[in-house]
Amino acid sequence: MFSKACEYAIRAAIYIASESEKGNRTSLKDIAREIDSPEAFTAKTLQKLSRNGIVSSSKGAHGGFNISPLRLDKIKVAEIVVAIDGDTVYKRCSLGLHNCSENHPCPFHSKFKPVRQELQEIIENTSLKDLTSGLISGDTFLKV
């Protein structure tokens, strides 16, 4: 459903959020390692998240990436998705057909429409804070 870039962005944001809750900034190198992503690719992804106000970055000896713990409840997964992939996840056909619509449905359209609507509801109502608790407790993981 999400592009690979979007998957990495969500994982990076969750990792940064979990570190931020502990009062830590985290480096590009640590983020790339923890989400199992190439460093250069992670840097481009983090740049988009930073430009969209999802993560903060600072340079220097004590620099790195963080998210204000006060914002973790406010940042929804949908913001990350839109920052990376735009709103195509809400509109794109499951078969990749660009002209699929209510008036011109693909064979899978009626089956996929409720799934797409449920996904939209989930990501618009799930905050980074919702996703960090399992990571901090060790009940969930960002890489196998």
Q: List, in sequence order, every beta strand (DSSP E) within 10-132.
A: 56-58, 64-66
Residue 53 lies in domain = 4-137
Does residue 143 form part of some domain?
A: no
CA 96 to chain centre: 21
Structural domain total, the chain = 1
Q: State the CATH number of the domain containing residue 103.
A: 1.10.10.10
How confident is the model over 24-56, as pLDDT tens digits? 999 999 999 999 999 999 999 999 999 999 999
Predicted TM-score (pTM) of this structure: 0.88
pLDDT over 70 percentage in the chain: 96
Does residue 90 form part of some domain?
A: yes
Over range 60-87, report the average pLDDT. 93
**What pLDDT does residue 2 have?**
85
Does residue 120 form part of some domain?
A: yes
CA-wise closest residue to 142 among 34, 27, 40, 6: 34
Does residue 34 form part of some domain?
A: yes
Q: What is the dihedral of CA 99, 104, 107, 110, to 10 degrees?
A: 110
